[in-house]
Structure 1
């Protein structure tokens, strides 16, 4: 796979998001299956693994730490703080003391002395971004983390944070059907030399054609409460997939691969981190970096999935208030 740069490291163009091995999409796979996915990813050349304190309320970090420990020195390991599970509930807390407590837990869970990249998972709007990033900068000085990242922030917040300490990466949802980063933060990352890590690059399964709507999703799957997956909205969104399917057939690839390839063409600083629980999907996703799209194909895909053609916001109203990203 082609290489991309993040926090001074040359890494494979596509990383692995580990969230759904423990969190968010209903019943997670068994520990054995999750371990197979992680080990197979290494065998396929994946060297960038992304987790968070929130995922599985610590269980994802424990899983990743246990499985990856023998290869730790050869891998780029990222985790996140500022949003964790407290008494069974998701809590956003960016106070320095809380971030300090979380990094100690993360290092223990991940069985490592230092993280290559540590994100502020959400900006706690009750705490100045300068205070949260200031505490993360002290962790850099202490050698607990090598680089700082931010997640779901606006270009304005990014610049404020970058003034306190260099930001190595911004992680935000970005895909054909979620184009919000194109408003400002994608270019800001480019201008400042910051990597842009795209989570949910397959639209939480929508762009692969695997997930049509919330009707058959199991309890505990966060997509059941997301507006775009409600039957009425999903029916409208499904109409966009016919053109994606036609182009993927023409290029002899899957819709998922085509969607990832489109992302990779949006800039050398863009690094998708699709997640999966299936080995076949893992192999499929990693092969997407070999697909070349010409200017006409890129333009057509962008036009098919213009933001005004997408039905429904990406988050429920309450969750939308928690993020800082620019929105169409």
Structure 2
């Protein structure tokens, strides 16, 4: 497996998003099988694992902590915290204390004495980013975390936070279907030496090429409310699938691998974290690191993408509707 740097952290060029083992995509493998798959990802070359306190109300951290405990010193572990509006406080000291409570709980669930990369799981508009950045700096001094990041942050929020405590990574949605951060955030990361970690790099599985207009989703599967999975949008987005499938066939690869290879070619500080719950999918996704597009292939994809309209998207607001179903 090839390696990349997100600021000072060396990671495999493709990581593993672990959320789906606990929630978000319907019923998954049982605990023992999930642990086996996470460990298998490591043996296939993955050294970058991502979770969050909010995934399964802490159960995903517990699962990931158990799975990675035997190899904890050989991998980079990322998790996230979220402070909701009701927790907003008047001073940076009380903000720090609240965040310290979150990190201590995560450390216990993860069975570790430090977190390599600690993200703010969405930027809270009611708390100045400078307060969060100050708190992260204190936790770094204490050795509880090695580095920190933001999720779905704007260019302004990145710059303001980075000026207080340098950011190591920005984790935001990015894929060949969702490119809104190419205009300002990714160039800002490049300028400031910050890594960019795309979540949902395969557009929640859409770019696997295995989704049809008749595919059904149940339970807590977020695709029930993500508009790109509406029947009409699946049909309308067929030109995109045709494009990546054509390149996949010419390279003896899969559409998912071409989609990941496309973003790996774009910038050397981009490290996607696709989520997978089957061994063959983990093998496929990690194998994308070996599919290197030529400059001509990349330019041709970009040229054709410019003429393809993407229908539907994925928003936090839509996902929140899942609770009402």
TM-score (norm 1): 0.90
- What's the CA shift for 1:251? 0.6
Which residue is equivalent to 1:42?
42
Which residue is equivalent to 1:5?
5
Work out the CA distance in 2 between the residues paired with 1:307 and 1:200.
Answer: 23
Work out the CA distance in 2 between the residues paired with 1:306 and 1:275.
Answer: 27
- Equivalent pairs counted in the alignment come to 314
Deviations 1:250-270 (A, max 9, x none): 110000111111110011101
Partner SS state of residue 239, structure 1 = helix
Query: CA, structure 1 residues 319+218, in 2 after alignment: closer, same or farther (shift >3 Å)?
Result: closer
Task: Answer with 123-132 or 236-245: which moved more.
Answer: 236-245
Which consecutive residues of structure 1, in runs of 5 or more, have no partner in the other structure? 85-90, 321-328
Partner SS state of residue 45, structure 2 = coil
Aligned residues: CA RMSD: 2.0
- What's the CA shift for 1:124? 0.7
Query: CA, structure 1 residues 319+26, in 2 after alignment: closer, same or farther (shift >3 Å)?
Result: closer
Which residue is equivalent to 2:132?
132
Checking the alignment, whether the CA contact within 8 Å between 2:240 and 2:308 is kept in structure 1 is no
- What's the CA shift for 1:94? 6.3
**1:112-131 map, 5 Å:** 112-131=112-131
Which residue is equivalent to 1:58?
58
Which residue is equivalent to 1:143?
143
Query: CA, structure 1 residues 75+171, in 2 after alignment: closer, same or farther (shift >3 Å)?
Result: same
Which consecutive residues of structure 2, in runs of 5 or more, have no partner in the other structure? 90-94, 321-325
Query: CA, structure 1 residues 220+296, in 2 after alignment: closer, same or farther (shift >3 Å)?
Result: same
Task: Answer with 22-31 or 111-120: which moved more.
Answer: 22-31
Task: Answer with 301-310 or 113-122: which moved more.
Answer: 301-310
Checking the alignment, whether the CA contact within 8 Å between 1:179 and 1:307 is kept in structure 2 is no
Work out the CA distance in 1 between the residues paired with 2:248 and 2:181.
Answer: 24
Work out the CA distance in 2 between the residues paired with 1:51 and 1:214.
Answer: 31
Query: CA, structure 1 residues 250+34, in 2 after alignment: closer, same or farther (shift >3 Å)?
Result: same
Work out the CA distance in 2 between the residues paired with 1:114 and 1:65.
Answer: 12
- What's the CA shift for 1:314? 2.3
Which residue is equivalent to 1:218?
218
Which residue is equivalent to 2:165?
165
- What's the CA shift for 1:214? 7.9
Partner SS state of residue 46, structure 2 = coil
